[in-house]
Structure 1
């Protein structure tokens, strides 16, 4: 049923739940998981040789750590995980990457880093702007 699962992560509790769901589906269907993190360029500018560049570098390091953890957890479960880190507007980048890899499903945390009482805005925008199946966990 699923061959390619996209799992965007922001490191939130919602993402942790979605990670377990994505890896479980991959294990069940023998699918590959593509874990991704988007560094939101609306929050980080990218000028050269500035204090903001250091903050951006820290965000990239955090992203790589998040993705490495997903890869490690996948290996423990016998699931192949590919990682992807990029800069841009999260919902746009998630949809574009889903199209690039022809994802069968996008598995996302229902509540991300910035929303605690309702569906996260990134999940909401992905649901609105893609025709792909989205599972909000």
Structure 2
């Protein structure tokens, strides 16, 4: 049913649930998983040898470390896992990556770290669902 699954993550609880779902589906369907961490550069501006550059580097390092840990977990259970850190608007990056890897499914948290209301879908998840041309599962 699924050959390629895209799972964007920001380390939030809903994103972690999405990772678990993606791993379960990948194990069940022997699918490849592509994990994505997007540094939201629009929040900070583009770096120009400033404190912004330091913040963006730390966010990249955080994302890379998180993805490396997830890749180790996936490797331990035999899931083919690829990780990418990118810059940009997360919902756009998710769609671009889904197209690039020809994902059969996008699995993402229903809200991310910047969202505070537990009963509402986050703006990234809402935009991904609204603009998707493939199935999207929110967790």
Q: Same fold (TM over 0.5)?
A: yes
* Corresponding position of 1:126: 128
Report 1:2-17 matches (<5 A): 2-17=2-17
Report 1:1-137 matches (<5 A): 1-115=1-115, 116-117=117-118, 118-137=120-139
Following the alignment from structure 1 to structure 2, what is the Cα–Cα distance between the partners of residues 131 and 6? 13
Give the C-alpha shift of residue 47 in structure 1: 2.6
Unaligned stretches of 5+ residues in structure 1: none
Following the alignment from structure 1 to structure 2, what is the Cα–Cα distance between the partners of residues 64 and 44? 19
Q: Deviations over 1:16-59 (max 9, x none)?
A: 11111000000000000000011111112223211111111101
TM-score, L = length of structure 1? 0.96
CA-atom RMSD, angstroms? 0.9
Give the C-alpha shift of residue 73 in structure 1: 1.2
Q: Deviations over 1:70-126 (max 9, x none)?
A: 101101211011001110000001001101110000000112112232111101000
Give the C-alpha shift of residue 127 in structure 1: 0.5
TM-score, L = length of structure 2? 0.95
Question: Partner of 1:111: helix, strand, or coil?
Answer: coil
Following the alignment from structure 2 to structure 1, what is the Cα–Cα distance between the partners of residues 79 and 47? 38
